[in-house]
Amino acid sequence: MRELSTRCCVVGGGPAGMTLGLLLARQGVDVTVLEKHADFLRDFRGDTIHPSTQELMYQLGWDEEFHRLPHARLDRISIDLQGRPVTFADFRRLPVHHPYVAFMPQWDFLDFLAEKGRRFPSFRLLMSTSGTELVMSEDRVTGVRASGEDGELEISADLVVTADGRHSALREQAGLAPVTYAPPMDVLWLRVSRRPTDSIPFFTASGRGLVSIDRGDYWQLAYLIRPGGFADVRREGLTALWEGITELAPDLADRVEEIASWDDVHHLAVRVDRLRRWYRPGLLCIGDSAHAMSPAGGVGVNLAVQDAVATANIVGPRLAEGTVEEGDLARVQARRMWPTRITQALQIVIGRRLFRPDGHRVLNVPLGNDGARVPAFVRLFRWFPALSRVTGRLVGIGVRPERVEPERVRV
Ligand SMILES: Cc1cc2nc3c(=O)[nH]c(=O)nc-3n(C[C@H](O)[C@H](O)[C@H](O)COP(=O)(O)OP(=O)(O)OC[C@H]3O[C@@H](n4cnc5c(N)ncnc54)[C@H](O)[C@@H]3O)c2cc1C
């Protein structure tokens, strides 16, 4: 077995892991990021880059370059309700340099971070390398065993960070178990070609719900179904699915059959959970491995990135000195638990108001002239439009935005 020694081994090259690797290397810390896939090319991941993450790009001096990557912009989240749009979140007045959500394929974002990371001499990214097992010495995590294209590898590290997503196997091995909350919905991710003449709102609801993301030559669609309802959707068949989509987005009637088989339907079983304890000696969990978020508001990527920034700010200097203590890891959790709790609580409360737990009508929101009562929660946004600026701030910037510390390594 090959051996490698590093200050910090980050398992998982998603938004949390890549951001952390990059920021630690920027501080001059020797860091090794393991990513089990050979590339970042996976469809239907969190593709929403919120103002908070774009502000980090600005702080890092990379925002112009970042915004040259292909993306679409959304400055408000509105829902078409009985023929009138109701705005739930308005980003336009946020005190940031880029007051909108940028829809960017996650692989472009991760490639960008990888490219930036490689400029720092202490950054090591091992693709096609899977962290398989924690190495323990008494009660302390002292490294990771990994498996890559060149065989087995044992990496010793002062700190192991799991950023390996919502199904983290390593956190389980560390004995860290999440508290789980009932998700309000599941999501089917779909793709249908787009024409410039299409007129499809970002979010439409009529018992069912559809989020339509403009990706240039195609629409990325999130079709909301009740939790655990995918088996029923399959039983009802593709034709029923096509009808459900066209009811919400009639412009797609002539193209919905591009969803030609169940292989074109990507089911996201939504999870909402969080660890009670994010660390143990020598180990820290961040991003989805510490807290899986509901897709409401598209905040998952951004919370993961914010965790990484807080970790780099708090733990980075200690890693550079070679003295990471459990108390440092506790400080990361203390800083990031609060935004996680608040965001999840809002997602759950809003989810309970908007979603119905049973039947086909997953959304408690009427459309068109179906005469159904508009929930009080939604009416509030009609009566007090300024509320959408508050939600815009909560969604776009979050509860406790992080700032990157000044650069230590010049490249
Ligand atoms: C289908 C889908 C759609 C989503 N849509 C949105 C959205 O629109 N907006 C939003 O904000 N969020 C969305 N999310 C959630 C969002 O993708 C996550 O919250 C975010 O990516 C979390 O980042 P992360 O780095 O913590 O984890 P992940 O993005 O899950 O990254 C974990 C990485 O670790 C790698 N990995 C796993 N195990 C190992 C191992 N043992 N060794 C090495 N590597 C490993 C994985 O390959 C992956 O690259 C969506 C999630 C899914 C699944």
Q: Whose CA is nearest to atom 52 of ligand 1?
A: 45
Query: Which CATH code, of 3.10.129.10, 3.20.20.60, 3.50.50.60, 3.30.565.10, is assigned to 2-71+104-182+273-355?
Result: 3.50.50.60
pLDDT over 70 for what percent of the chain? 91
With 0.85 as the threshold, say if the pTM is over it. yes
Highest mean pLDDT among 146-155, 225-234, 364-373: 146-155
Atom number of ligand 1 nearest to Cα 34: 43
Atom number of ligand 1 nearest to Cα 37: 47
Pocket (CB within 6 angstroms of ligand 1): 11-17, 34-37, 44-48, 130-131, 163-165, 169, 189, 268, 287-288, 293, 295, 298-301, 304
Out of 288, 303, 340, give the residue to mutate to test ligand 1, the one with the largest number of ligand atoms within 8 Å of its CB: 288
Q: What's the CA gap between 239 and 253, in Å, rounded?
A: 12
The residues, ordered by sequence, that sit 6+ positions from 105 with a Cβ below 8 Å of its Cβ are: 47, 70, 215
Average of pLDDT values for 12-40?
Answer: 96
**Which amino acid, 189?**
W
Q: What does pLDDT average to over the chain?
A: 89
Q: What's the CA gap between 156 and 1, in Å, rounded?
A: 13
pLDDT, tens only, 174-193 = 999 999 988 778 889 999 99
Nearest by Cα to 410 from 123, 125, 119, 124: 119
Cα–chain center distance at 12: 14
Q: How far is the CA of 75 from the centre of ligand 1 (A)?
A: 24
Given a cut of 90, is residue 85 above it in pLDDT? no
Given a cut of 70, is residue 194 above it in pLDDT? yes
The residues, ordered by sequence, that sit 6+ positions from 383 with a Cβ below 8 Å of its Cβ are: none
361 pLDDT band, cuts 50/70/90, is: low
28 pLDDT band, cuts 50/70/90, is: very high
Return the pLDDT at 298: 83
DSSP 8-state secondary structure symbol assigned to residue 405? P
Average of pLDDT values for 3-27?
Answer: 97
Q: How far is the CA of 133 from the centre of ligand 1 (A)?
A: 20
Q: Whose CA is nearest to atom 37 of ligand 1?
A: 164
What are the extents of the domains in the chain? 2-71+104-182+273-355, 186-269
pLDDT, tens only, 362-398 = 565 555 445 556 667 777 888 888 999 999 999 999 9
Nearest by Cα to 51 from 24, 83, 91: 91
